[in-house]
Structure 1
Amino acid sequence: MSRPQILQMGPYPAWDQEPLEQMFTMHRLFEATDRAAFLAQHGAQVRGIATRGELGADAALIAACPQLEVISVYGVGTDAVDLAAARARGIRVTNTPDVLTEDVADLGVGMALALSRGMIGAEAWVRDGSWAAKGGYPLQRRLSGRRAGILGLGRIGMAVGQRLAAFGMPIAYSGRAPKADAPQGWTFLPDAVSLAQQSDLLVMALSATPETRHIVDARVLEALGADGMLVNISRAANLDEEALLDALEGGRIAGAALDVFEGEPALNPRFLALRNVVLQPHHASGTIETRRAMGQLLRDNLAAHFAGRPLLSEVA
């Protein structure tokens, strides 16, 4: 029996690529010099798409694969997949939740610490000789005991909150509705503005949907205030970058730590001139352990589909 043919949207580590090649016939769209010709040649035979969160699968790509049955996403975000187009044809979509929760939460808290304590600038202060020539680094702000707001209390938001609570930070959160499993003492607030007003540190951990586009805008940043800090470990589309840059340049918030950007990796050069930001290359899930687990779950979902077994992590 011939192996199912899979359209691959981007590269994977060798520990994922090799077993994929053994299990399926892989068509590497990302290596094609002429995407349209490549899809015309292979699209009619494709039964599955293996993609990444930031690459997704748009309506045109889905339409180019008339036999498509399943889209498996390496990552938790599905905002780059045209879910409506997939559902209209009965195409199943999976992602890799849970396995990346702890690492994303770790990086979010690490960025908050680096931002509040000025760790990036302080390290440069040592390396460039300023410590010896100019003395101690300028005083920074503590993180412990300050008020934390979490925008989006899903798996990752909950893990972030648990870590910040260990710093003695009171936790507030906002989302579609109060969470029944939120720890006792955590406060639900109905919207992003009211959450920002009650936060010294605002952490974005929500999914990206059309409704959440630019949910953190100039109004939210104004409510966060001149002593407030922002961390984004969600999706770039949830944040109005122009409003953020204006607020950072104008000193209307204290700082921001960002792992995602519009147009990444070609981020807005205005970020590079700022000292009150911590910039990371979209690698919150970037540990060997998590990436191995993500690749395994991607493959397991594809294998389950073609074997007629229940999918492990189907997107609702």
Structure 2
Amino acid sequence: MAIEILQTRPLVASCERALAQRYTVHKLHEQVDPDAWVVANGARIRAHAGSGVQVSLMDRLPNLEIIAGFGVGVDNIDVHAARAREIRVTNTPDVLSDAVAELTLGLMISLARRIPQGDRYVRAGKWPGGSFGLFSELTGKTVGIVGLGRIGKEIAARAQAMKMRVVYHGRHQQPGVHYVYYDDLEAMARDSDWLVVIAPGGKGTERMVSRSVLEALGPEGMLVNVARGSLVDEPAMIELLQSGGLGGAALDVFEHEPQVPEALLGLDNVVLSPHQGSATRQTRDAMGALLVANLDRHFAGEPLISEVV
């Protein structure tokens, strides 16, 4: 009999095609009454493809064996509950590192040189009335990276190519890493021109970039968040951007996205992006292929490629 799997939200088209070729796929987000469908059919589901799986759904899928997550972050999957139920969890690391690192540097250059604002300046016909102004550059600046994982290391390599000095903060110093390590985030922010946030979301990292960290970064400092909106004290950040206590911010993520605080929309010292760190066709296709490969390996009884442990 065909293995039945569940989707609760759309996935990239190439991934959906590959899943449909191998499995019987049920798309809960397309059901007229999702709750009634799960009650009637949940016992047949052996796998979930995608993210956003909490304990309330697991409890209604008694034969669930694996959650194949789409993305590197697993803060939207109740991993603890899955382990307690002996449900395996996978994610899609590595394949998105380059795309996120590229966007990070793009955001940094955009903020330093005010590229989006310059575009608006030209389109509004203001250039004939005077020059746009002088801003900053990355060369010679220190960037502090919060979370030197796979993506953080790719960001660091690209920052060095821009002639920046790299330092980092994490739960512990990493052996074999030659960048200067700070065990105190506030101290690193004080010593940095740029603070790039790429640590995991979830419990334990909420608002780790606190008001005191932002104040330490200071009126010339620049914040970049490509991780999760929950890692930054968003109200404090907005207040400091408005008052001049923080120099600028480039944000790909927000605390309550897709809603973005209205106060950010009118600020010229910010660059805003709609959570598109991995949003390239080649990367999303690779993420989908890795999701499917993990499912295939699970049902073949083979070792998983990227199990969350």
TM-score, normalised relative to structure 1? 0.95
Structure 2 match to 1:180: 175
Paired AA for residue 173 in structure 1: Y
Paired AA for residue 10 in structure 2: P
* Within-5 A mapping of 1:247-286: 247-286=240-279
Please point out which of 297, 302, 305 is paired with 1:312: 305
Structure 1 match to 2:77: 81
Shift of 1:170: 1.3
Deviations 1:273-301 (A, max 9, x none): 21111111111101111111100000000
Q: Which runs of no fewer than 5 residues in structure 1 stay unpaired?
A: none
Shift of 1:94: 0.2
SS of the residue corresponding to residue 50 of structure 2 reads: strand
* Within-5 A mapping of 1:50-129: 50-52=49-51, 56-129=52-125
Paired AA for residue 7 in structure 1: L
Shift of 1:265: 1.1
Whether the 8 Å contact between 1:27 and 1:42 is mirrored in structure 2 is no
Say whether 1:223 aligns with 2:219.
Answer: no
Q: From the superposition, tell whether residues 242 and 33 of structure 1 become closer, same or farther in structure 2 (CA, over 3 Å).
A: farther
For residues 5 and 247 of structure 1, the distance between their equivalents in structure 2, rounded to whole angstroms, comes to 51
Q: Which runs of no fewer than 5 residues in structure 2 stay unpaired?
A: none
Structure 2 match to 1:202: 195
Structure 1 match to 2:136: 141
Return 13-22 or 103-112, whichever deviates more.
Answer: 13-22
Say whether 1:295 aligns with 2:288.
Answer: yes
Whether the 8 Å contact between 2:11 and 2:50 is mirrored in structure 1 is no
Whether the 8 Å contact between 2:138 and 2:163 is mirrored in structure 1 is no
* Within-5 A mapping of 1:129-168: 129-132=125-128, 134-168=129-163
Paired AA for residue 6 in structure 2: L
Whether the 8 Å contact between 2:217 and 2:246 is mirrored in structure 1 is yes
Shift of 1:32: 2.7
For residues 305 and 13 of structure 1, the distance between their equivalents in structure 2, rounded to whole angstroms, comes to 21
Shift of 1:12: 1.7
Q: From the superposition, tell whether residues 303 and 255 of structure 1 become closer, same or farther in structure 2 (CA, over 3 Å).
A: same
Return 232-241 or 26-35, whichever deviates more.
Answer: 26-35
Shift of 1:13: 2.5
Whether the 8 Å contact between 2:46 and 2:66 is mirrored in structure 1 is yes
Whether the 8 Å contact between 1:4 and 1:47 is mirrored in structure 2 is yes
For residues 267 and 45 of structure 1, the distance between their equivalents in structure 2, rounded to whole angstroms, comes to 39
For residues 32 and 218 of structure 1, the distance between their equivalents in structure 2, rounded to whole angstroms, comes to 44
Structure 1 match to 2:205: 212
SS of the residue corresponding to residue 12 of structure 1 reads: coil
Structure 2 match to 1:241: 234
Structure 1 match to 2:11: 12
Identity of aligned residues (%): 43
SS of the residue corresponding to residue 305 of structure 2 reads: coil
Return 239-248 or 197-206, whichever deviates more.
Answer: 239-248
Deviations 1:23-63 (A, max 9, x none): 111111122343311211221111111113xxx21110111
Deviations 1:50-85 (A, max 9, x none): 113xxx211101111110000011100000100111
SS of the residue corresponding to residue 173 of structure 2 reads: coil
For residues 178 and 207 of structure 1, the distance between their equivalents in structure 2, rounded to whole angstroms, comes to 17
Paired AA for residue 48 in structure 2: I
Deviations 1:224-275 (A, max 9, x none): 0000000011111111111111111111111111111122112222221211
For residues 202 and 259 of structure 2, the distance between their equivalents in structure 1, rounded to whole angstroms, comes to 23
Q: Say how many residue pairs are matched.
A: 309
TM-score, normalised relative to structure 2? 0.97
Structure 1 match to 2:30: 31
Paired AA for residue 91 in structure 2: N
SS of the residue corresponding to residue 289 of structure 1 reads: helix
SS of the residue corresponding to residue 74 of structure 1 reads: coil
Shift of 1:14: 2.1
Deviations 1:199-221 (A, max 9, x none): 10000011113111110010110
Shift of 1:304: 0.7
For residues 31 and 259 of structure 2, the distance between their equivalents in structure 1, rounded to whole angstroms, comes to 22
* RMSD across aligned positions (CA): 1.1
